[in-house]
């Protein structure tokens, strides 16, 4: 092995879980992928744990009851912590509507001494319902579905997140830049 290879293999990157919570169509996933691209360009190891993909593969069979939502968040939190503990920046654009579920993920990270940041993508429901990326608000309004987070199912907004992003008042790039600035401030980017 050459000295350059030894040096690059001995450098360990600090991982972290960056959880983006907010209502459906708030912009969580779009911001996460924008930031992931920037971090990869800078040479960071990055994974995005997309809530829809997780529901399809890791949490298939779970419904949307409070208990199932808690189980889903706990599973995602476990995978995120595992990756983050191994030097990956893990972006988690997942609603996680209940404060106690998010807090249990935070505590798991703290127990493992793994960095956890909570970002509230604070887009008002009126804006989200116009964006309606997946047509959920229209289906709920038509009576086709019920239990839509923030409409007829609760969403407990974080009281003191590490960062609050008002995505409806800035571009996706500006939102991702604000999150990148937080990571830089915390020594993670």
**181's tokens:** 């600035």
Query: Do the Cβ atoms of 83 and 90 come closer than 8 Å?
Result: yes
Ligand-binding site membership of 26 (annotated) = yes
Ligand-binding site membership of 85 (annotated) = no
Query: Do the Cβ atoms of 123 and 166 come closer than 8 Å?
Result: yes
Give me the phi and psi of 89, to 5 degrees please.
-85, 115
Where residue 163 falls (left for φ over 0; alpha for ψ -120 to 50; beta otherwise) is beta
Ligand-binding site membership of 134 (annotated) = no
Ligand-binding site membership of 154 (annotated) = no
Return the H-helix or E-strand segment holding 76.
helix 66-85
Which residues carry a binding-site annotation? 22-29
Please report, in range form, the residues annotated as the binding site for ATP.
22-29
């Amino acid at each position: 092995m050459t000295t350059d290879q030894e040096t690059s293999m001995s450098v360990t990157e600090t991982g972290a879980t960056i959880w983006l919570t907010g209502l459906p169509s708030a912009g969580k996933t779009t911001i996460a992928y924008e930031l992931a691209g920037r971090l990869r360009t800078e040479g960071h190891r990055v994974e995005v744990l997309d809530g829809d993909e997780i529901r399809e593969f890791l949490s298939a069979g779970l419904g949307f009851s409070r208990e199932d939502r808690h189980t889903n968040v706990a599973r995602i939190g476990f995978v995120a912590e595992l990756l983050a503990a191994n030097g990956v920046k893990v972006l988690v654009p997942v609603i996680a509507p209940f404060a106690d579920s998010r807090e249990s993920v935070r505590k798991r990270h703290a127990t493992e001494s793994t960095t956890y940041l909570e970002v509230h993508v604070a887009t008002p429901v009126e804006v989200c319902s116009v964006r309606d990326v997946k047509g959920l608000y229209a289906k709920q309004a038509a009576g086709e579905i019920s239990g839509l987070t923030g409409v007829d199912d609760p969403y407990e907004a974080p009281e003191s997140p590490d960062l609050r992003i008002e995505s409806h008042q800035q571009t996706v790039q500006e939102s991702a830049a604000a999150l990148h600035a937080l990571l830089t401030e915390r020594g993670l980017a």
